[in-house]
Amino acid sequence: MEDTRPTLHYFIISDAIGETAQKVAQSSLVQYPSAHKVCHKYNFISNINDLDIALEDAAAHDGLIFMTMIDNEMAAYAERFFNKHQLTYYNLIQPIVDEIGYRINMKPSKIIGAQHELSDRYFDKIRAMEYCMSFDDGKDPKGFEEADIILLGVSRTGKTPLSMYLAMLGYKAANLPLIPENELPEILFKLDPNKIVGLTNRVEVINRHRDARMREYGITSPTKYASFDRIQEEFDFAQEVYERIGCQTLDVSQRSIEESAAIILKMLDLHKHES
C-alpha cells in the first residue's frame, strides 16, 4: 500500500557536530511517532559555500530548520536566506550566547564545539561506552562489579537504549535480561542492591513492542513470545527477582529514555558526571 502520509523534511545545520540541534529536533518530533520524517544533516559548516548548499537544499524541500551556528556572520546570512524564502527556522544557540554576553558584559569565545573538548570527563564517557557495549544484554556478569548502574528487566523494556544513554552521560551501565527459564548469575545477589534498578512496564505495551519485533523478522502469526500470558509470566518472575535482590524498580511505560535516566540517577543518588 502506498504511503500517503505527508512528509516532513527537517534540517540540522551546524558549524559543529550538530548534536544540540539533533536532540531538540528529536525531542519535538517524537511527539508525532506516526509521521513520515526525513532528516537532512549538514554539520561542520565552515564557509559560505558549504552553507549555501545546505540552504538551497532546505529551500527545495520547504524544510523545517534547526540551526546551531556560533559564527554571527554565517548565522545572519542564513537567517536572511530563511526570511527571504519564508522558511521556518530555529537558531538554537546564538541568541542565548548573545543574551549571556549582554548580561555579564563579556564577549563569547566563539570556540566551535567547545563542549566537546578533550577532558577527563570526555574520556570517562568513552570508557563508559566501552563498558556498556562489553556488558550489554547480560554479557559476562562477572564484570558487573565495575558497574555504576545495573538494569534488570524482561525483553523489550528498553534496557539497552537506556544503558547506552547512561553511558553517554559517563556512567558504566550494564544490563541483564530476565527470562524465567534462565538461571540467574550468582553475582547478582552479592552486589550492592543500591546500584541495581528493576525496570517494569505494562503488559500491553510490551505486547506491542514484541509484535513489532516479530513483524520485523517477517513473522505475522501469533507467537508465545508476544502473548499476554507469557509476558505476565515474565513480569511475575521479574518481580520476584527484584524482591529477592531488594532493589528499587522503575515503571518506564510512559517515560522517555532521558526521563527514565534522570529518575534513575536521582534514585541512586548519582550525580558525579553532571555539570
**Distances in Å between the alpha carbon of 194 and those of 171, 179, 182, 201?**
15, 22, 24, 21
For the segment 164-219, what is each residue's pLDDT rounded down to a tens digit? 999 989 999 999 999 999 999 999 999 999 999 999 999 999 999 999 889 988 99
Average pLDDT, the chain: 90
More confident site: 60 or 29 = 60
* Residue list, annotated binding site for ADP: 153-160
111, pLDDT greater than 70: no
H or E element that contains 202: none
Q: Please, is 23 exposed, middle or buried when counting C-beta atoms within 10 Å of its C-beta (0-12, 13-18, 19+)?
A: middle
CA distance 90 to 65: 6
Q: How far is CA 261 from the centre of its chain?
A: 10
In a domain, 189, yes or no: yes
Sign of CA dihedral 99, 104, 105, 108: negative
- Predicted local confidence at residue 154, as pLDDT: 97
47, pLDDT greater than 80: yes
Closest CA to 187 of 142, 150, 219: 142
Q: Within this chain, do residues 129 and 263 fall inside the same structural domain, yes or no?
A: yes
62, pLDDT greater than 90: yes
CA distance 177 to 180: 10
CA distance 136 to 1: 38
* Residue list, annotated binding site: 153-160
**Residue 66 neighbours by CB distance under 10 Å:** 26
The lowest-confidence range among 2-6, 85-89, 227-231, 242-246 is: 2-6
CA distance 213 to 217: 7
Q: Within this chain, do residues 126 and 65 fall inside the same structural domain, yes or no?
A: no
pLDDT band for position 275 (cuts 50, 70, 90):
very low
Q: Range of 33's domain? A: 7-104
1, pLDDT greater than 60: no
- Predicted local confidence at residue 117, as pLDDT: 52
Q: Report the domain count for the chain.
A: 2
- Predicted local confidence at residue 106, as pLDDT: 86
Q: Within this chain, do residues 124 and 254 fall inside the same structural domain, yes or no?
A: yes
Query: Which neighbouring-strand residues pair with 250?
Result: 199
Q: Within this chain, do residues 88 and 186 fall inside the same structural domain, yes or no?
A: no
Q: Within this chain, do residues 135 and 260 fall inside the same structural domain, yes or no?
A: yes
Q: Within this chain, do residues 15 and 135 fall inside the same structural domain, yes or no?
A: no
Q: Within this chain, do residues 261 and 147 fall inside the same structural domain, yes or no?
A: yes
Contact 148, 131 (CB under 8 A): no
- Predicted local confidence at residue 100, as pLDDT: 85
- Tell me what the mean pLDDT of segment 61-76 comes to: 92
Q: Cα–Cα–Cα angle for 153, 28, 48, nearest 5°?
A: 125
The CA-to-CA distance between both ends of the chain, in Å, stands at 49
More confident site: 125 or 14 = 14
Helix runs in the chain, H state only = 19-29, 48-60, 72-84, 94-104, 120-134, 159-168, 203-216, 228-245, 257-267
pTM: 0.61
In a domain, 2, yes or no: no
Q: Within this chain, do residues 98 and 178 fall inside the same structural domain, yes or no?
A: no
Q: Within this chain, do residues 53 and 146 fall inside the same structural domain, yes or no?
A: no
Q: Please, is 198 exposed, middle or buried when counting C-beta atoms within 10 Å of its C-beta (0-12, 13-18, 19+)?
A: buried
CA distance 140 to 120: 27
More confident site: 100 or 223 = 223
Q: Within this chain, do residues 246 and 142 fall inside the same structural domain, yes or no?
A: yes
